[in-house]
Amino acid sequence: MSIVTFADIEAAATRIAGHAVRTPLVESPALNARLSARVLLKPETLQHAGAFKFRGAMNRISQLSDAERARGVVACSSGNHAQGVALVARMLGAPAVIVMPADAPAMKVANTRGYGAEVVHYDRYTEDREAITHGIAEARGMTIVWPFDDADIVAGQGTVGLELVAQAAEVEAKLDVVLTPVGGGGLAAGVSTAVKHLQPGAQVYGVEPSAFDDTARSMVSGARETIDPAARSICDALQSPSPGAITFPINQRMLDGVLTVTDAQVAEAIRYAYATLKLVVEPGGVVGLAALLAGELDVSGQTVGIVLSGGNIDPTLFSRILAGEL
Q: What CA–CA distance (Å, rounded) separates 221 from 95?
A: 41
Query: Which member of 42, 53, 108, 196 is catalytic?
Result: 53
Q: How far is CA 52 from CA 28, 139, 221, in A?
A: 22, 30, 29
The mean pLDDT of the chain is 96
Burial pattern 187-212, b for ≥16 Cβ within 10 A else e, equals: bbbbbbbbbbbbbeebbbbbbbbbbb
pLDDT computed for residue 144 by the predictor: 98
Q: Answer yes or no: same fold for 6-51+150-322 and 54-144.
A: yes
CA-CA distance, 29 to 200, in Å (whole number)?
27
The whole-number pLDDT of residue 234 equals 96
Would you state the pLDDT for residue 125? 85
Q: What is the mean pLDDT of residues 188-206?
A: 98
pLDDT digits (tens, 9 = 90+) for 207-251: 999 999 999 999 999 999 999 989 999 999 999 899 999 999 999
End-to-end CA distance of the chain: 44
Complete DSSP assignment for 227-272: --TT---S-GGG--SS--TTHHHHHHHH-SEEEEE-HHHHHHHHHH
| % of the chain at pLDDT higher than 90 | 95
Nearest to 176 by CA among 165, 166, 185, 160: 165
Alpha carbon 235 to chain centroid distance? Answer: 11
Q: What is the pLDDT of residues 35-88, one digit of tens each?
A: 999 999 999 999 999 999 999 999 999 999 999 999 999 999 988 999 999 999
pLDDT in tens, 247-279: 999 999 999 999 999 999 999 999 999 999 999
> Could you count the other beta carbons within 10 Å of the beta carbon of residue 168?
24
Fold of 6-51+150-322: Rossmann fold (3.40.50)
286-306 confidence digits (pLDDT tens): 999 999 999 999 999 999 999
Rounded Cα distance between 71 and 141, Å, is 6
Question: Is the pTM above the cut of 0.75?
Answer: yes
CATH 3.40.50.1100 fits 54-144, yes or no: yes
Is 65 an annotated catalytic residue? no
Local confidence band at 2 (pLDDT 50, 70, 90 cut-offs): low
- Rounded average pLDDT over 173-200: 98
Domain residue extents for the chain: 6-51+150-322, 54-144
Q: Note whether 36 and 300 are within 8 A (CB).
A: yes
Q: Residue 124: its pLDDT value, please?
A: 84
pLDDT given at position 78: 82
Q: Is 36 a catalytic residue?
A: no
Q: For residue 100, is pLDDT > 60?
A: yes
Q: Between β-strands 96-101 and 73-76, what pairing exists: parallel, antiparallel or unpaired?
A: parallel
| Residue of 77, 78, 233, 309 marked active site | 309
